[in-house]
Amino acid sequence: MTAIQALMSEIIDYAGLFPPASLDMRATVRGFAAYRECRSADVLGRLILPVSRIEEFEIETTGLLPRVPDLDSNEEDPDPWAISALMSPASDLDAVVADLAAIEAFNDQHTEEGSGAAIIDTIEIAAASGEEIDAVLELLDDELYPYFELDWRGDVRGGIAAIAGLDAGAKIRTGGVTADAHPGVLELTRFIQACRMADVPFKATAGLHHPIRADQSSVGTKQFGFLNVFLGAAMLHAGCINGSEFGEMLAEEDPKAFAFDEVTAGWRLRRIEIEPLLEARSRFAHSFGSCSFVEPLEELIALGMLADAGTEPVKEGESGS
C-alpha cells in the first residue's frame, strides 16, 4: 500500500442522488454497483441514501444486490452494500423514531435468506444542540454509528462535547450550490481542531470534488480540496503539523505543495508516514460525501498523484487489485 492509497481508502461516500449531480435512483444505484466492481473500488465507501427514499431503492436494486445464501448452503457470505442513511433532523424526535423503525425493518429484510445483501450501519442527522444529540443517542442501539451534522455558522463546541467519549462522530457541510453554503478557512479550521481536541471523528459532505482548494465559477467561491481537508486532518491528528499550520494547509492552492511517495505523504516540508496516516483515517478523518465518484479520481490522476486504476467495472478473469 502506498501513501496515496492509505489516504484514499474507502474515503468517498457516493452521494449521486444529491446536487450538483442530482441523479435519479436508478442511475445512482447502478453507478454504485459498477464502482464496487471497478479497479478503484478500494476508494469507495458507503452509498448515501435518505430514509425517505428507501422504497425507491428497493425497486431499483432488484437484481443488483448480492444474494444472501441459504443457511445450509456452502456459499460464502456476500459483501453487502454498505449504506449511510440520512435521517430527519434531531429536532423532530417523532420523525427520528419513525426513521429508526424503517432502518430496522430494512436491515431485517436484507439479512433474510435469498434477499439482497445490504446494511444501513451508519446514520447522518442534523442537530442544533447537545440536548438534541443526547435525545437521539438515547434511541440508538449499538448497531448504528451516528454522525451528527453541526452548523459551522455557530459555535460547534457544545455539540462536539456532547459526542465526545461516545461511539459517534461529527459531520460538517463543506459546500453546496451557492457561495454562502461554503465555510471559510477559519470556520473549517475551528471545526476540525475542536474535533481533534475532543477526540471526536468527523466526516464532511458537499464541495469536495476537487483535490486542491481553488476558485470554482459554478458556485462563485473557493472550494476546499479533499487533500487539504483529509491529509491536513491526518497530519494534525498525528502531530505532524500544529494548529496554525493546519489553517495554512486548508488554504493551500498550489498542487505542487502536496507530495506522495511509496511510504509518506506530505505538504511542503511536513511529512506523514503510512501507519499514522492509516490510524488517523480510521480514528479521526473518516470520509466525505461526493455526488461524483469519478471526478475526484480523475483529477488526482491528472495531477500525477494516483495511477490510472480505472473506474470501469473489472471484466471477468481480470484482477481488481
Q: Band of the pLDDT at 307, cuts 50, 70, 90?
A: confident
Q: Band of the pLDDT at 319, cuts 50, 70, 90?
A: very low
Torsion of Cα atoms, 234 then 236 then 237 then 239, to 10°: 120
For residue 54, pLDDT over 80 is answered with yes
**Half-sphere exposure of residue 100: CA atoms within 13 angstroms, side-chain side:** 20
Residue 250 zone, left/alpha/beta (φ > 0; ψ -120 to 50; rest): alpha
| Correct CATH for 3-302 of 3.20.20, 1.10.287, 3.90.700, 1.20.1260 | 3.20.20
Q: Locate the domains of the chain by residue range.
A: 3-302
pTM (2 d.p.): 0.94
- Is residue 290 classed as helix, strand or coil in its secondary structure? strand
pLDDT digit string (tens) for 251-306? 999 999 999 999 999 999 999 999 999 999 999 999 999 999 999 999 999 999 99
- Is residue 159 classed as helix, strand or coil in its secondary structure? helix
For residue 156, pLDDT over 90 is answered with yes
Residue 186: its pLDDT value, please? 97
Distance CA 225, CA 7 (A): 13
Closest CA to 106 of 98, 118, 97, 123: 118
Residue 309: its pLDDT value, please? 64
Residue 321: its pLDDT value, please? 29
Distance CA 36, CA 117 (A): 14
pLDDT digit string (tens) for 202-256? 999 999 999 999 999 999 999 999 999 999 999 999 999 999 999 999 999 999 9
